Chain A
Amino acid sequence: MPDRRSPARRLRPVLLLAPLVVLPLLLDSFSLYQATMILIYVTAIIGLDIVFGRAGVLSVAQAVFIGIGAYTAAWMSRTTTVSIGVELIAAAVIAGLAAILVGLPALRVSGLRLAILTFAFVELFQWVVTTFASITGGTQGLLVNPGGFGTVTTADPLVGYGLAAVIALLATWLVIRLQRNPIGRSMAAVKNSNLLAESAGVSTVRTKLTAFMLSGMLGGLAGVVLAHVSGSVTPAGFTVFSSLNLLVALILGGTGRVHGAWLGAAYVVLMPELFARLGIPNAYPIVNGAVLMLLLVVMPGGIAGVLDGIRDRVRRSGAAPPPPLTPVPERSSS
């Protein structure tokens, strides 16, 4: 199809990408670390959004996939000399397969019961990591050797940032592709109702497993970068609370919207810091909970939903009102 987008719309990606390139040059090292964390969160949250926001399956297993990616990277960085590219591929494959496994119960149960089943996988992951301590380091965790390509390694924070940015952009590209694509439509149908999906010929089984697999792969990729940027992995980083934190970020930012994940990621990384600077770090969880409850009631579309609403209102002010059913004129055959 020809590209019918206006020049302004074609410029938009450039305008959005420019800050990503310029930012690291301006930031001090702590802010660079935070920017990197935001980008890692973006990838992980987009993964969660595919399963929850797009396919409508409530899962608290996202932290497991990040954990699988992180442990894969940690273990490979210590026992092999492969490039970080190999770690990323391995993590995406393993986490993707694990996600299909986690998704299997989704074929029989749904809603809260399914969420509880995905919770069981988080517990299973915790049990495996603490039990097989000779490989995973148990509760102590593992130190992660810097990874990279040849001499370019994550020992340099800029490399970690660049990697996180590239993967976050890849995830964003993926979810944009999904949106206007038969797979995205199938997911929307499954989210709406199994009845609608199946009566359109959409296999709910395949669609849900696809959503889980993609979310797992993105989680795994995020985990690899997280491991290298933070320099160590411990099971405490991948609990059900980590998953819930991602879920809060997604709902706050706005589910089913590309920029929702970005806004949510920025929120969960920057807010605790803000409270720490104000000298009231303990207030964060309380305020966070209150804000979430408030948002769910007042703005269920999240921050992105509010922004979209304003944009739509501006656009619609010039648009024609919706028509009722009208007769169709006879068409002359051409």
Chain B
Amino acid sequence: MATDQAGRPPAVLEVRDVRVTVNGVRALGGVSFDVPEGSLFGLIGPNGAGKTTIMNVISAVITPQQGSVRFRGEELTGTGTVARVRAGILRSFQQVRLLEGMSVLDNLLLGRERFRVVGLLRQIGGSRTGRRQARRDLAVVEEVAAVLGLSDLLHRDVQDLPFGVRRLVDVGRAFAAEPDLLLLDEPAAGLDVTSRRLLLEAIKRAQSTTGATVMLVEHDVDMVRRACGESVVLSNGEVLARGTPAEVLADPAVLRAYFGRSDA
């Protein structure tokens, strides 16, 4: 186990010296950080910093050339995406991905797939275990929908919903999976200021009710300051700083990298 300063909760995720090269371009050049249990953890950095890449590594969408990722003290390297999801590591993508033409309810229920144990025949024919699981799935999904404010929309087709609500459904599917660790890749991207705030509030609410550890990529510094506990700043595939939002955002190196060249 990594030695931590006294008083800090144990790290649920330990990223160690992860290096990724895509098509000869260095995306991550030896990234290390710990994500403390039960926190809303901020992952900040300008475009191209490597935030999506590190999420891809953690969820096994890509394999790093070097380095290791440990979840609850166990080495993840070598396991696939589905195995990690079943272990409780969920994620959303920068681009909204939904079951188009299906209801909000169906989309949220998809998050329950990781708990599925009932086999094909009994699934089609119906079984006591299957029905019990279906009841539990529905209960969890309704709870998540209530926390996120989707209760009245459960039977709407996601295709008919505005972008902000679709984002919320995307995030809701991940929360419906009762994640231990949830990676959210710029969930508020493309939303207006009001919707961003509402979405992040909803995420914060869901995080505190479920107790999940959430790693959040977000560009808006004010939002990060308000929502996140500990944070890491990435730039050019390297960790620039780590600490509370107030600490990292006061770091001169961060000020230079972040505000020196991005949206500002």
Q: Is B113 an interface residue (CB 8 A)?
A: yes
Contact with B along A198-224 (1 / 0, CB 8 A): 111111000000100000000000000
Question: How many B residues are at the interface, by size bracket?
Answer: 35 or more
Rank and list the top 8 A-B pairs by shortest CB-CB distance, nearest first.
Answer: A201-B114, A328-B149, A201-B85, A325-B164, A196-B97, A198-B81, A325-B198, A325-B195
Contact residues in B for A183 (Cβ distance below 8 Å)? 120, 123-124
Q: Is A327 an interface residue (CB 8 A)?
A: yes
Stretch at the interface among B22-30, B104-112, B238-246: B104-112
Is the beta-carbon distance between A327 and B149 smaller than 8 angstroms?
Answer: yes
Is the beta-carbon distance between A323 and B165 smaller than 8 angstroms?
Answer: yes
Q: Is B250 an interface residue (CB 8 A)?
A: no
Is the beta-carbon distance between B97 and A174 smaller than 8 angstroms?
Answer: no
Contact residues in B for A203 (Cβ distance below 8 Å)? 82
Contact residues in A for B217 (Cβ distance below 8 Å)? none
Which residues of B from 130 to 182 have beta carbons under 8 Å from A? 134-135, 146-149, 153, 156, 160-162, 164-165, 168, 173, 177
Contact residues in A for B233 (Cβ distance below 8 Å)? none
Q: Is B54 an interface residue (CB 8 A)?
A: no
Return B138 CB to nearest CB of chain A, in Å: 8
Partner-A contacts on B (CB < 8 A)? 59, 61, 80-82, 85-86, 90-93, 97-102, 106, 109-114, 116, 118, 120, 123-124, 134-135, 146-149, 153, 156, 160-162, 164-165, 168, 173, 177, 191, 194-195, 198-199, 201-202, 205
Q: How far is the CA of A183 from the CA of B109 in the complex (A)?
A: 11
Return B52 CB to nearest CB of chain A, in Å: 12
Return B186 CB to nearest CB of chain A, in Å: 15
Stretch at the interface among A123-131, A143-151, A186-194: A186-194
Q: Is A181 an interface residue (CB 8 A)?
A: yes
Question: How many A residues are at the interface, by size bracket?
Answer: 20 to 34
Contact residues in B for A178 (Cβ distance below 8 Å)? 124
Is the beta-carbon distance between B113 and A185 smaller than 8 angstroms?
Answer: yes
Q: Mind listing 16 A-B residue pairs with CB under 8 Å?
A: A1-B134, A181-B123, A182-B123, A188-B99, A189-B113, A192-B97, A195-B61, A195-B97, A201-B82, A201-B113, A201-B114, A323-B165, A324-B162, A325-B199, A328-B148, A328-B201
Q: Is A326 an interface residue (CB 8 A)?
A: yes
Q: Is A177 an interface residue (CB 8 A)?
A: yes
Given A185-B110, A201-B85: A326 and B124 interface contact (C-beta under 8 Å): no
Chain B contact residues: helix, strand, loop or mixed: helix
Q: Which of B61, B120, B177 contacts A210 (CB 8 A)?
A: B120
Contact residues in A for B162 (Cβ distance below 8 Å)? 322-325
Contact residues in B for A185 (Cβ distance below 8 Å)? 99, 102, 106, 109-110, 113
Q: Which of A177, A256, A322 contacts B124 (CB 8 A)?
A: A177
Q: Is A5 an interface residue (CB 8 A)?
A: no
Is the beta-carbon distance between A189 and B202 smaller than 8 angstroms?
Answer: no
Given A174-B124, A186-B113, A201-B177: A328 and B161 interface contact (C-beta under 8 Å): no
Contact residues in B for A12 (Cβ distance below 8 Å)? none
